[in-house]
Structure 1
Amino acid sequence: MNSPVRAGIIGTGFMGGVHAQAIRTAGGTVTRVSGSSSAKADSFARRIGAKSVASTADALIESDDVDVVHICTPNNSHAELALKVIEAGKAVVCEKPLATSVAEAQALSAAADAAGTVTAVPFVYRFYPAIREARARILSGESGNLWLLHGSYLQDWLSTDDAANWRVNPELGGGSRAFGDIGVHWCDLMEFVTGHRIVRLTATVSNAFPRRAMEGGMKTVMTEDGANILFETDQGASGSLVISQVSPGRKNRLWFSFDGTAASYSFDQENPGNLWIGGSRSTRILPSGNDSLGASASAEYAFLPAGHPQGYQDCFNAFVGDMHAAIHGKRPEGLPSFADGLRSAQLTEAVLASAASRSWAEIPLPVKAPRYQSIS
């Protein structure tokens, strides 16, 4: 029997709590945490039931009782911390973006591949049962030829000019905010579900509020509130994507329609219990449950009967469960790795370059998936 995975969490905010819940659900133990201050780390450890507090992030990474490190810190620290974990010979889960530049993401992906390190980036929308069902149906050929891939990802947490946090600051969050934060989720999901890869795109970025209330008063915003993107894929499809973090009333609406010549598939993350399947003569809504899904690949992630929708935390739990399986030497289908984090960095760079030049930008095709070595 595989021993429980011992995890360390760097970062004490909202995402750290999500990771902690997923670790426990997957049968692991949070042995150590670290934060930006000892007070925050102590409070976080008590809240999530961690066994101990590490004095620094470096001390946590080097701890003998940590098998996998979860990096849940501001974006500008991801690359440095992830590299230290790889060099320590441990598995790593790094919040996206993997890095704030393509060069750093490439270096991390190459280092992890060379070391055989088990890595993951939380593109957790892959783990909805409805998403796995759509993927299985499309890859089986049921859709016919996919020719139009379109959708949006809309939030409203920045819908007033006094709303801001570290993500608005490019020195901490990186050069792209809306696309780099949520647009990459949509693109990852599209490529995962359809098997298509974006090879060129043209984009515009914009701001609802040119100035926001930040530390020191009202300041000019240097990162985008939203983006509009047209793209083409390696299999001849075209698509469009609207990204916004200033759409009042939209809390976390990732929506897509993937349209083929024989069938179309639509999913709405604010109503995750259903998959809409359209045909020329009829349409139907397929409820997501372990008693209703047809594909074994989707039923594996459906823990409840139809009518009991699974949500974001359930996806995160399944993601971490697959990460633990990879640590024990298995190769779960669809576990997003540092190679996928690199892919998102390349797409983000292309969006910013296209918006700046008002022209189309090319994106290289991804490399093959890495081969992992068990560290159990």
Structure 2
Amino acid sequence: MTDRIRAGIVGGGFMATVHARAIRRSGGILSAVVASTPQRSQAAAELLGAESAAESLDQLLDSDVDVVHVCTPNATHAPLVRAAVAAGKHVVCEKPLGVDAAEAADLTARAADAGVTATVPFVYRFYPVVREARARVADGTTGDVRLLHGSYLQDWLALDTDDDWRVDPAAGGPSRAFADIGVHWCDLVEFVTGHRITRLTARTVVAVPERGGRRVETEDAALVVFETDRGAVGNLTVSQVSQGRKNRLQLTVDGAAESLAFDQEAPETLWIGGREVNRQLLRGTGEHPAAARYSVVPAGHPQGYQDCFDAFVADTHAALGGPAPDGLPTFADGLRATRVTAAVLESASRGAWVDVAS
């Protein structure tokens, strides 16, 4: 590799723009982009500010790119990742890593065998107050964790006229709302607390049965109750049909000594609940070192989603030439998410409690 990481992007949609900004802000070079046709590749290269447009995936993989970012519909992730790993490239793959756990396990094993760095953008881990919450649980300040609860709510598919490729299981896989956003919440709760969800019962809901004259086969919402390996219990509501909610990921951790609450739509504060006094810890003011590392602007100057993505890509780039920074989400975490998703779908189908594969 050169001193500056050279990245290639597969795809030219919205997420590709987020990845492109993060690559540049992390000091990397967006070397090449490839989309579904040479014409779309050229348009994507111009949109994203890439040095070149590749005419095919093979051309991109034959180039000098160090890392390939896969930003395409879910069903295409597996063949693209396999090709990139076979070419010896490091990989960043949008979630879900695979449309099912078997596919994700295969990709995780291939990346490990090839010795490449392979990451999945669970970027909510990179909010400084999330790192603060994690540190408080880890050092015992919060006390034993008892209850975990929250939601991830969106409204972008609330109307029967709203549509997207994710609604089609042939492109998005058998789960939509949970595989798209529910896994973010589950990853975050496990990351913050160190607990693992071991058993759950779930119900999935199709609130809008038809979109554009087409029957909806993937869930609009999911309700989950779960247990963890350390004796805590929890519940989660996931929805893409909740009017007025854009990306409202809310997580509460109830410990024996204090409660912690994080809201992704107001990410500059961590709510700390006590028996006599409730407090709000402000980002950038007396933070734990694990949190301060990700506070890149002074307090009162809000950081947000793109900043998290920038930090994730910067940590991925750091892992290409040395030890992985603490908390970097890898393909193993992507595999974990597909196993939780599989348990949710199985439970909803059977109407029973099921174990989550370890």
Bin for the TM-score computed over the shorter chain: over 0.9
- Provide the secondary structure at the position in 1 that maps to 2:245: coil
TM-score using structure 1 length: 0.94
- Provide the secondary structure at the position in 1 that maps to 2:291: helix
After alignment, is 17-26 or 297-306 more displaced? Answer: 297-306
After alignment, is 54-63 or 344-353 more displaced? Answer: 54-63
Task: Write the deviation string for residues 292-351 of structure 1: whole angstroms up to 9, x where unpaired.
Answer: 142100000001122112100000000000000001113200110000010001001000
**Of the candidates 345, 350, 354, which is equivalent to residue 352 of structure 1?**
345
1:200 equivalent in structure 2: 199
Distance 1:279 1:2 in 2: 51
- Provide the secondary structure at the position in 2 that maps to 1:257: strand
1:233 equivalent in structure 2: 228
**Of the candidates 279, 287, 292, which is equivalent to residue 282 of structure 2?**
287
Paired residue type of 2:138: L
Paired residue type of 2:110: A
Distance 2:286 2:96 in 1: 32
Distance 1:2 1:143 in 2: 44
Q: How many residues align structurally? A: 358
2:23 equivalent in structure 1: 23
2:37 equivalent in structure 1: 37
Contact 1:2 1:328 in 2 (8 A): no
1:113 equivalent in structure 2: 112
- Provide the secondary structure at the position in 2 that maps to 1:223: coil
Which structure 2 residues correspond to residues 75-224 of structure 1 after superposition, within 5 A? 75-213=74-212, 218-224=213-219
**Of the candidates 308, 314, 337, which is equivalent to residue 301 of structure 2?**
308
Paired residue type of 1:60: L
1:254 equivalent in structure 2: 249
Task: Write the deviation string for residues 87-112 of structure 1: whole angstroms up to 9, x where unpaired.
Answer: 11110000000000111111111111
Quote how far apart the aligned CAs of 1:39 are: 2.4
Paired residue type of 1:49: G
Quote how far apart the aligned CAs of 1:2 are: 6.7
Paired residue type of 1:27: G
Paired residue type of 2:161: D
Contact 2:297 2:303 in 1 (8 A): yes
Provide the identity percentage.
Answer: 56
Paired residue type of 2:327: G
Unaligned runs of 5+ in 2: none
- Provide the secondary structure at the position in 2 that maps to 1:240: strand
Distance 2:174 2:286 in 1: 41
Quote how far apart the aligned CAs of 1:60 are: 1.1
Contact 1:155 1:245 in 2 (8 A): yes
Paired residue type of 1:57: L
Unaligned runs of 5+ in 1: 366-376
1:53 equivalent in structure 2: 53
Task: Write the deviation string for residues 261-309 of structure 1: whole angstroms up to 9, x where unpaired.
Answer: 10110011111111101111211001112xx142100000001122112
Contact 1:203 1:358 in 2 (8 A): yes
